[in-house]
Structure formats: structure tokens, C-alpha cells
Structure 1
Amino acid sequence: MRTKSEARRNAILMAAGQIFHDQSFDGASMAQIAQSLGCSKATLYSYFESKEVLFYEVLMSAASAQMHDTFAAMESSSLPIGEALQAMGEQVISLLYSEEVMAVRRLLLSAAGRKADLGRACYDAGPAQFLEAMSALLKQYMDEGKLRAANPRVAALHLRALLESEWLDLFLFSTMQGFDQAFCKETATRATETFLAAYGVV
């Protein structure tokens, strides 16, 4: 089988990402993407079998680098529990509210309700893995006696919700004025303190 050019594949992902962003999933077409690249639709389909598959790959490529950095920080932290959660919280907020990931989330929100398989695939490749990594970290802290014993998955959901609590409306209603690092630190601090009040040990 002919080996596909990685450079060509990356060029398709970049062009498709821009068109999906500008036109939405429903408004974009494989013909538009092919035209923007100066290639045929047949060439495009030789790399990606459908618009849904291409859309999925755009979403995942946009978030993969940030996700990797956040997972690495979560797994390698040796700080005291409060400092570790604070540092992780800032990483999580920075990831979820970076321009790249917010664009991914907007694209997914616009399409996933009508594309259940796509929504599930994106969840499995992103949030599900993130939740698993966070749950494993919190379970480790529970086993070490740094957090009270509880369901680590539920605790991870609570922590993520706390970290997003002061950001989510800004994202949903498009009222963010750029990413504010100081606000990130402040909100991560409040989320960490609230989480430890619920899950910390006396």
C-alpha cells in the first residue's frame, strides 16, 4: 500500500480546521477543503474516509499536545497535596481554556448532538482519558492518606467541575477577553481550597 505523506496529511488537517472553524461542521464540505488545498476530493478521501473522520482528526490533533503536557504534569508531581493540586488545577484550566481547545469544544458542541458516534469517539479520546488520569492521581493520594477515602472518579469529576466553575459561563457565552493567567491562578486556588475542604484529611 502506498505510504501517505505526513506533510500532506498535516496540511489537510490545518486547512480543514480553518474551514470547520469558519463554516461549522455542517457548513463545511469536502469539496471546499479540497479546493483550498488545490487537490481533488479523491485525494482528500484517500487520507480521510469521510467528513466525520476528518472532523474527528482535526479535533484530536488540536488538543493532543496540550493534553500530553497536562497528563505528564499530573503523573510526575511530587509536591505536597495542596501545591500539587494547585499546580495541576492551573494546568487543567490553561488546557481547557486555551484558544485551541476552546475551538475544539465549540466545533464539537456544534456537531456532536447530531453526530452521536462522533461525540462518543471524541469523548473517549479526550475527556475520558483525562478523567481516568485524574482519577488515578486522586486514588493514589487517597491510598497514601493525603485525601479521605472516596470514589476517585466522582472526586475527579468534582475537582474538574470546581476548576471550571468560574470559567464555563465565560466560554459558553463568549465573554472571555483573552486568557488571564492571574485569574487562572486565583480560580485554581479557590477550586483547590474548596476541594480540600471536602476531600482533605483532618
Structure 2
Amino acid sequence: MKVRTEARRSAIVLAAAELFQEVGYERASMNELARRFGGSKATLYGYFPSKEALFVAVVETLATANLADAVDDLAQVDEKSIPLKEQLTRFGERMLHVLVNDEKAIAVYRMVVAESGHSVVGQLFHESGPAQSIEAIAKLVSAAMAREELRRTDPKVMAQQFFALLTAEINNRVFQNPPPPVSETEVRAKVHRAVEMFLMGAVPRQGKAEQAGR
């Protein structure tokens, strides 16, 4: 029985990433990947039960690993000890740093955009990264609603709105070749604007207008 190794798994993921980016998800085959990798389909399936599972591994390795770390940090924060604005800012800065400066992550995003209309790539990508981030933010804002720091509404919708604000100024980078570099100062400024805009619409409104909306 052959022993699986993390190094071999990582090599398969990197080879698959190159293949997906070169020919697209739909046209990529396990046969071709085995040929390029220099192994067999049996070896590939020993590590990944399907092409879908392999694609998820590519996404998690190259595009959303740092996002997952940011989500974990967000989940471990004591909401009472760190202000909501600071928590949102920390998460936003970690998220944007990946989205604007990681060339491998940008390449994966481009491939997802190109393939989403005619394959399951978009759904797989969303479930492997953005959905987890939105869920973590939803829990954060739900706790803030319970403390009456934010107005009561659907926390998932509010999380989606915050996520959209964070990416509003960088979405066009997927279509730029090459996208211009973004400094840490610019990242912080973009996140600051997103957080300020989010809180401006999310904090409880005072007076009769708020009462009428309840």
C-alpha cells in the first residue's frame, strides 16, 4: 500500500491549478493531470475522490487559505473586549490584502469568473471561501444586534452587504492585466471607507423614523 504524503498532495494541487488556469475547469481532465503530473489516475483519486474535490483543494490552497485564517481569528475574538468597528477593520484588511496582492489567488478568481456560467465552479468557489466568511460576519453582527449596537435585521443579509462593500473598489482588478499593485496604505483606506459606509447604514436610527421602521 502506497503511503500518502502532504508534499505529494501539494504537488498535485499545484499541477491541477496550472491545468485549470490553462484549459478551464470543464476541459481539464484527470487523465491529462495524471499525464502532466507523471503519475496515474489511481494516484490522483487516492488523494482526491473527484475533480470537484480537487478544485476545492486548489481554491482553499491558493485563494482562500488566508481568508480561512481571518475567519478563524474572527470566531475566536471576544466581542466585548474589542469594538465592532475594529473587528470589522481587522477582517477587512486581511481579506483585501489577499484579494489585491496574491497573484495566485487573482488567477483562481479569474478562472472562476470565466467558468461560472457553464459549470459548478462558481458554486464550489463560493462554498470554499466567501460563504464561510459571510457566515462568520453574520455571527459577529448578530451578536452586535443583541447588544443593540446594530439595528435588527437579517444578519446574513447584513454580512453580505458588508462583504460587497469590502470588494466594491477592487472588483475591476479581475479584468485588469496586469492589475496595478495596491499598497498597504491603500488597502487600509479602502477598508476604512467600507467599514464607515457599512456602519453608517447599520447602526440604529434614532427618533420616529426608526420606530416606524420596526
Percentage identity across paired residues of the two chains: 33
**Using the alignment, how far apart are the partners of 1:182 and 1:162 within structure 2?**
18
**Using the alignment, how far apart are the partners of 1:36 and 1:100 within structure 2?**
20
CA deviation map 1:84-129 (0-9, x unaligned): 322222122223333333222222222232223x433332232222
How many residue pairs were aligned?
Answer: 201
Residue 195 of structure 1 and its aligned partner are, at CA, apart by: 1.0
Match of 2:6 in 1: 6
**Using the alignment, how far apart are the partners of 2:55 and 2:172 within structure 1?**
25
Contact 2:109 2:174 in 1 (8 A): no
**Using the alignment, how far apart are the partners of 1:99 and 1:140 within structure 2?**
35
Match of 1:68 in 2: 68
Whether 1:161 and 2:127 are equivalent positions in the alignment is no
Residue 50 of structure 1 and its aligned partner are, at CA, apart by: 4.1
Match of 2:212 in 1: none
Secondary structure, counterpart of 1:177 in structure 2: coil
Which of 99, 104, 108 is residue 100 of structure 1 equivalent to? 104
**Alignment RMSD (CA, Å):** 2.5
- TM-score, normalization: structure 1? 0.84
Query: Aligned pair in 2 of structure 1 residues 135, 62: CA closer, same or farther (>3 Å)?
Result: same
CA deviation map 1:31-72 (0-9, x unaligned): 442233222344334433443432232122223431222113
**Using the alignment, how far apart are the partners of 1:95 and 1:142 within structure 2?**
29
Contact 2:60 2:129 in 1 (8 A): yes
Segments of structure 1 that go 5 or more residues without pairing to the other structure are none
**Using the alignment, how far apart are the partners of 1:167 and 1:53 within structure 2?**
28
| Corresponding letter in the other structure for 1:36 | R
Query: Aligned pair in 2 of structure 1 residues 187, 3: CA closer, same or farther (>3 Å)?
Result: same
Match of 1:113 in 2: 117
Contact 1:138 1:152 in 2 (8 A): yes
Query: Aligned pair in 2 of structure 1 residues 45, 82: CA closer, same or farther (>3 Å)?
Result: closer
Segments of structure 2 that go 5 or more residues without pairing to the other structure are 207-214
- TM-score, normalization: structure 2? 0.80
1:1-202 alignment runs, 5 A limit: 3-75=3-75, 76=77, 78-97=81-100, 98-116=102-120, 118-174=121-177, 176-201=179-204
Residue 133 of structure 1 and its aligned partner are, at CA, apart by: 0.7
| Corresponding letter in the other structure for 1:105 | Y
| Corresponding letter in the other structure for 1:123 | H
Contact 1:159 1:195 in 2 (8 A): yes
Secondary structure, counterpart of 1:79 in structure 2: coil
Query: Aligned pair in 2 of structure 1 residues 147, 168: CA closer, same or farther (>3 Å)?
Result: same
Query: Aligned pair in 2 of structure 1 residues 148, 94: CA closer, same or farther (>3 Å)?
Result: same
